[in-house]
């Protein structure tokens, strides 16, 4: 820790309360942060994002006792534990989602995909950028509503440890639960006592999801391919080359005939891939030969 750059303030004042202890972000420092973010987890911080980087990293720079972003980046690179990089990723990533976001995807799952899977003994779905968990629990509620589907699991992953912790705790304010069907709130949620109303996913529903920290640029290592992968509203933060890399890896994780659902702002039109277009933001991996999804 570079203690020489931290201001020591007498009289009990918090030395981190003085924002001026950190020098303004310089252009070469922004470029260094930009390259680190792109190389480690694919984030494309384009020119013009200097204020965003300043706002999101300033607290970490100060908390670690550094007066410049350059010293902080050096610290992140030298930290062999990976904790400093994880903290930087948490700070730079955007975790915005909601229950039943882009609802036509869930209608498509219920009406088109699940009937084709009804004869299976078990179903596994991957939420590949689960953020704070609303997508995961939407899937869990929807699947439980399907009487024929008793044995299923949802694998959820994200690069942000902070988001994963929030998702696995599964506690949401009343405001965040607006739009959740009343039947779901009664059946799959519990309420916690306190001045502010807090809903929590029920223990039985929480047991259906498994969380894992995962970088979409690295090896996935799933034991078997998935029939359905949700990877929504994350590739908009990648450049085209990174998008193509991620899509190739997602295709490898899909079983033949399986579906990939992306965000509606993430058309794969400009991305090289082997998927079949189904409808906006829905793609299917070619089955090859006899379609395993077609009932005989």
Count of H-run helices and E-run strands, the chain: 11, 10
Residue 221's pLDDT is: 92
Q: Do residues 114 and 84 both lie within one domain?
A: no
Instruction: Write the pLDDT tens digit of every residue in 174-221.
Output: 999 999 999 999 999 999 988 889 999 999 999 999 999 999 999 999
Residue 19's pLDDT is: 43
CA separation for the pair 148, 139 (Å, rounded): 15
With respect to residue 97, please indicate whether it lies within any of the assigned structural domains: no
**Model confidence pTM above 0.95:** no
Q: Do residues 277 and 177 both lie within one domain?
A: yes
Single out the residue of 196, 232, 269 nearest to residue 104, CA to CA: 232
Q: What percent of the chain has pLDDT over 90?
A: 76
Instruction: Write the pLDDT tens digit of every residue in 29-48.
Output: 999 999 999 999 899 999 99
Instruction: Write the pLDDT tens digit of every residue in 79-91.
Output: 998 889 989 988 9
Residue 296's pLDDT is: 43
Strands 226-230 and 254-261 turn out to be parallel
Per-residue b or e along 132-150, where b marks 16 or more CB atoms closer than 10 Å to that residue's CB: bbbbbbbbbbbbbebeebe
219 by Cβ neighbours in 10 Å (0-12 / 13-18 / 19+) ranks as: exposed
Q: What stretches of the chain adopt beta strand conformation (E)?
A: 123-127, 152-158, 171-173, 189-192, 198-201, 209-213, 226-230, 254-261, 276-279, 282-284
Residue 270's pLDDT is: 87
Q: Does residue 222 surpass a pLDDT of 60?
A: yes
Write the CATH number for 86.
1.10.155.10
Write the CATH number for 200.
3.40.50.150
Q: Do residues 123 and 211 both lie within one domain?
A: yes
- Average pLDDT of 146-171? 89
Last residue of a domain, one of 92, 111, 144: 92
CA separation for the pair 250, 135 (Å, rounded): 18
CA separation for the pair 224, 120 (Å, rounded): 15
3-state SS of 57-72 is HHHHHHHCCCCCHHHH
With respect to residue 181, please indicate whether it lies within any of the assigned structural domains: yes
The C-alpha torsion from 181 through 145 and 202 to 210, rounded to 10°, is -120
With respect to residue 75, please indicate whether it lies within any of the assigned structural domains: yes
Residue 148's pLDDT is: 58
Q: How many domains does the chain have?
A: 2
Residue 149's pLDDT is: 58
Structural domain containing residue 185: 103-284
With respect to residue 290, please indicate whether it lies within any of the assigned structural domains: no
Question: Mean pLDDT over all residues of the chain?
Answer: 89
Last residue of a domain, one of 92, 111, 136: 92
């Amino acid at each position: 820790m570079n203690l020489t750059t931290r201001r020591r303030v007498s009289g009990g004042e918090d030395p981190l309360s003085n924002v001026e202890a950190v020098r303004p972000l310089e252009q070469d420092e922004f470029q260094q942060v930009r390259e680190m973010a792109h190389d480690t987890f694919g984030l494309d911080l384009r020119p013009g994002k200097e204020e965003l980087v300043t706002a999101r990293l300033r607290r970490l720079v100060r908390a670690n006792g550094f007066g410049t972003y350059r010293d902080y980046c050096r610290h992140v690179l030298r930290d062999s534990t990976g904790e400093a990089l994880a903290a930087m990723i948490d700070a730079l990533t955007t975790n915005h989602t909601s229950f039943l976001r882009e609802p036509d995807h869930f209608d498509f799952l219920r009406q088109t995909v699940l009937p084709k899977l009804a004869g299976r003994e078990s179903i596994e779905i991957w939420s590949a950028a689960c953020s704070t968990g609303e997508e995961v629990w939407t899937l869990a509620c929807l699947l439980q509503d399907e009487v024929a589907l008793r044995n299923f699991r949802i694998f959820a992953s994200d690069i942000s440890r902070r988001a994963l912790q929030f998702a696995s705790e599964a506690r949401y304010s009343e405001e965040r639960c607006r739009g959740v069907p009343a039947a779901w709130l009664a059946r799959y949620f519990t309420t916690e006592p306190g001045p502010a109303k807090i809903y929590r996913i029920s223990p039985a529903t929480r047991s259906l999801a498994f969380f894992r920290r995962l970088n979409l640029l690295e090896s996935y290592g799933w034991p078997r391919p998935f029939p359905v992968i949700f990877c929504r509203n994350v590739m908009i933060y990648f450049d085209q080359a990174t998008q193509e890399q991620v899509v190739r890896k997602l295709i490898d994780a899909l079983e033949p005939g399986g579906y990939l659902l992306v965000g509606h702002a993430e058309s794969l039109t400009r991305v090289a891939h082997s998927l079949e277009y189904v409808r906006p933001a829905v793609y299917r991996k070619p089955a090859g030969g006899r379609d395993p999804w077609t009932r005989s």
